[in-house]
Amino acid sequence: MSIIDFKMRQDLLWFSEKQSTAWIEHSPVCTKIVDLDFHLQYMSSAGINGLGIDDITEYYGKPYPLGFYPQLFRDEMTKSLIKARDTGAVVVHEDAVVDIEGNVMWFHSTIVPINDHNDHNDQIDYFMIVSVDITEQKQVNIEIQELNYELESRVKNRTLELEKAVEELLIISETDSLTTIANRHVYERRLTENVATAKRNREYLSLLMIDIDCFKKYNDKYGHDFGDIVLTSIAQTIKGSLLRETDLAARFGGEEFVVLLPSTEGHAALAVAERIRMNVRSLEIKHDVVDAASAITVSIGVASLKAEMLNETDLLKQADIALYMAKKKGRNCCEVFNT
């Protein structure tokens, strides 16, 4: 190689190094050089400005990560440096650091083991750490997470509100507005379900038809306001007389009520009917539509069917006939349908 060629190569090398240094110093990417003892040897302007350090030279030769970084970051970065040293592989590290004023900054760092000799051996001369400031990205992600959490919270609350509203609407749709017990719609649905279950299990299903004695006369004499109070009181008494959750009391219409008693034969159903009749009588709701010492009473018809004999139409018809028999017998009594 001639002296001219050698001098030209030196000039090119010097120019290349100068260009690289200029690029590193003016790049927004923070570049650091760390020796094999993990001591800081160089930090580019991006890192110096980002951390708010006036004189970086006082940190050269000191252990990296620097002392004012959070302990967790120092521990994790040290682990990453050890991994790069022991494996010779490029290691990626992402974590939060704190500048000298206590501001949190997030960096995505790539740790690159460097061999300056290009002799294809496994010797590592130093580490180059290239770090990109991702603080804004992290803040955006945090804001997105907070917005997602807020949105999920709102959706959850709204869903709960809707579920509650649906539940309330269902209750309203299945409740008699005056007496607050089940309405006829619920009775008809439960009757169909109870008939199917009783036939499948070959069990009895009993039905009580209940009518308030002389209620029309009471209503005409004392007015609808008092009549509504009586209806509500008797409805709640009927419901409160039932001892099982499977039993259903419902308003059938006007002053008539029905009670469904699954898995209940005639004698047991009559006992429930008598309990209802006596509980209503014990209310002692006085009136004089019949005589001066009269009190509100109820008459009850009882029907009970099983297996192939059981169907919705016959059960209701028989309970209605039994109620008519109770009325004809003198009211304030219970009658069981007998074929």
- Return the pLDDT at 25: 64
- H or E, element range at 43: strand 40-43
Q: Tell me the CA distances in angstroms from 234 to 50, 200, 298, one per residue in order.
A: 81, 34, 9
- Return the pLDDT at 24: 59
Assess whether pLDDT exceeds 80 at residue 116. Answer: no
* Beta strands at 40-43 and 91-98: parallel, antiparallel or unpaired: unpaired
- Return the pLDDT at 338: 86
pLDDT tier at 102 (50, 70, 90 boundaries)? confident
> Who contacts 84 (Cβ-Cβ below 8 Å, separation ≥6)?
90, 91, 111, 112, 113, 127
- Return the pLDDT at 10: 47
pLDDT tier at 13 (50, 70, 90 boundaries)? very low
Rounded-to-integer distance, Cα 107 and Cα 131, Å: 6
Q: Which two tokens stand for residue 95?
A: 């974590």
The string of pLDDT tens digits covering residues 48-80 is 887 788 888 899 999 998 888 888 888 888 999
Picking from 275, 260, 327, 318, the residue whose alpha carbon sits closest to that of residue 299 is 327
- Return the pLDDT at 16: 45
The string of pLDDT tens digits covering residues 128-182 is 998 888 888 888 888 888 889 898 999 999 989 888 888 888 888 889 999 999 9
Overall size of the chain counted in residues: 339
- Return the pLDDT at 178: 94
Fold entry, domain 184-336:
Alpha-Beta Plaits (3.30.70)
Most confident residue range from 15-24, 124-133, 301-310: 301-310
Instruction: Work out the average pLDDT over 215-244.
Output: 93
**Secondary-structure class of domain 3-133 per CATH:** alpha beta
Q: Does 94 participate in catalysis according to the annotation? A: no
The string of pLDDT tens digits covering residues 73-83 is 888 889 999 99
- Return the pLDDT at 168: 82
Picking from 312, 210, 194, the residue whose alpha carbon sits closest to that of residue 251 is 210
The string of pLDDT tens digits covering residues 243-289 is 999 999 999 999 999 999 999 999 999 999 999 999 999 998 887 76
> Contact at 8 Å (CB) between 301 and 326?
yes
From 146, 255, 265, 274, active-site residue: 255
Rounded-to-integer distance, Cα 217 and Cα 49, Å: 96
Picking from 308, 286, 309, the residue whose alpha carbon sits closest to that of residue 297 is 286
Q: Which two tokens stand for residue 334?
A: 């219970």
- Return the pLDDT at 121: 65
Instruction: Work out the average pLDDT over 200-207.
Output: 96
Instruction: Work out the average pLDDT over 288-307.
Output: 84
Assess whether pLDDT exceeds 90 at residue 291. Answer: no
Picking from 187, 189, 286, 270, the residue whose alpha carbon sits closest to that of residue 233 is 286
Domain ranges of the chain: 3-133, 139-173, 184-336
Q: pLDDT exceeding 70 applies to what percent of the chain?
A: 89
- The pLDDT mean for the chain works out to 87
Assess whether pLDDT exceeds 90 at residue 28. Answer: no
